[in-house]
Structure 1
Amino acid sequence: MLADVDVSLQAWLATQLAPGTEVGFDNPTLLAGIAPRPRGAGIVNLFLHHVAENLDGMSAGPVRVRDAAGRITAVHAAPRSYHLSYLVTAWASSAAEEHELLGAVIGAHTECDSLVVDHLRGSLRVLDTGLPMRVGWTPAGRSVELWGALGIPMRTALDLTVTAPALPTRLHTPAAPVEAVTLATGAVPARPDLPHKRWERTTITEH
């Protein structure tokens, strides 16, 4: 699921950023020492640094799959969703161009605050609705602390959080429905302390 969200974000940004802009998902420490990029050949980098389960609206039990007749054909675990937090940085020829690139990301989010179905890739293609996105928020807290952990100078950046489901891949087939019930009775052993009564063997069959 994580890789599918990455390529979905890449498909979205490809339609929003200037031609020639590269989209990457590297640790910023790998970019800290690169030379300034040529004009028009900047990099927008999305570093996935935090994953948190989204507990809002989580299903309490398994999901039952039914056929057209309403009969249960399979059972799978309830889908779970996660907040995926990215640190978005721009690496270009100048600070001004980096701000242009980050501004383009903000502008694209302002126009549409979700990853729409057309941009979903991999296992996410089966979804019929987009994935919510938020800019400037992450359940991880302040990204300022992240820069200290990375050990590189702080720079202009955005927090981008996508909420995406981890779709179950295992279907469990339920037991076959009951088609007949057979009830049988047999002779009861005689007891000397009870009056004698004859019992006959009978069979009841329900369909």
Structure 2
Amino acid sequence: MLADIDSSIRAWLAAELSPGTEIGFDPPGLLAGIQRRPRRAGIVNVFLYAVNENLDGVPAARMHVRNADGRVTGTLAPTRSYHLSYLVTAWAADTAEEHELLGAVIGAHAEQDVLSPDYLRGSLHNLDMSLPVRVGWSPVYRGQDLWGALGVSMRTALDLTVTAPALPSRLKQAAPPVQTVDLDVYDGVPVPPEKPRKRWERTAIAEHHTSEPRT
């Protein structure tokens, strides 16, 4: 799933950014030591830094799969979707060109805020739907601690979040239908065996007294 989302984002940005722009998915720390890029040969880096489950509208139970006769043949787990949060940075000849690249990403999102089926790759290509894309929003807070963890000085960046389902869902086969039923027939009602008496169990003795009339 994650690799297919990366490929889909690459296809989307490649169609929107100027020719010669490289698109990467590396941790920003790997790019911090590079020299300034040649003009019109910048890098837009899209680093995945957080994955959060989308809990809106998640079904509570497995879903039944039926054949043409209406019989249940298996069950599928509910389709779950996830918010994938990316840190988008630009690395170019100078700060002005870096801002130009980031502005092109914002413009591409303003024009179309989804990954349409034309850009979906891998297992996502069979989806008959578009994937929502949000710029400037993430379900997790991104503060200065992230830059410190990445070992990079703070720089201009964008949050880009794609919401995508986890595919494919695995089918759990149902138990096979009953073919034969074996019945045992008894001649009369069987008598259960007598319950054995426990060794420590004592038998109660009842005493009876009779009074004879005096003569």
Same-fold call, TM > 0.5?
yes
Q: SS of the counterpart of 1:4?
A: helix
Match in the other structure for 1:202: none
The 1:109–1:70 alpha-carbon spacing in structure 2 relative to 1, beyond 3 Å, is farther
Q: Which one-letter code corresponds to 1:18 in the other structure? A: S
Q: Return the TM-score normalized by structure 2.
A: 0.81
The alignment's C-alpha RMSD in Å is 2.0
Gaps of at least 5 residues in structure 2 are 192-215
Match in the other structure for 2:127: 127
Q: SS of the counterpart of 1:172?
A: strand
The 1:98–1:190 alpha-carbon spacing in structure 2 relative to 1, beyond 3 Å, is closer
CA contact (8 A) 1:75 1:171 kept: yes
Match in the other structure for 2:187: 187
Higher strand share: 1
Q: Which moved more, 1:44-53 or 1:121-130?
A: 121-130
Q: Equivalents in 2 of 1:112, 1:103: separation in Å?
A: 14
1:68 lines up with 2:68 in the alignment:
yes
- The percentage of counterpart residues that share the same residue type is 64
Q: CA deviation at 1:160?
A: 0.4
In the TM superposition, what are the counterparts of 1:16-165 in structure 2 within 5 Å?
Answer: 16-165=16-165
The 1:90–1:182 alpha-carbon spacing in structure 2 relative to 1, beyond 3 Å, is same
Q: SS of the counterpart of 1:119?
A: coil
Q: Which one-letter code corresponds to 1:115 in the other structure? A: L
Q: Equivalents in 2 of 1:119, 1:87: separation in Å?
A: 20
Gaps of at least 5 residues in structure 1 are 192-207
Q: SS of the counterpart of 1:175?
A: coil
Q: SS of the counterpart of 1:176?
A: coil
Q: Return the TM-score normalized by structure 1.
A: 0.84
Q: SS of the counterpart of 1:85?
A: strand
Q: Equivalents in 2 of 1:152, 1:179: separation in Å?
A: 67
Q: Which one-letter code corresponds to 2:33 in the other structure? A: G
Q: SS of the counterpart of 1:140?
A: coil
Q: Equivalents in 1 of 2:159, 2:189: separation in Å?
A: 80
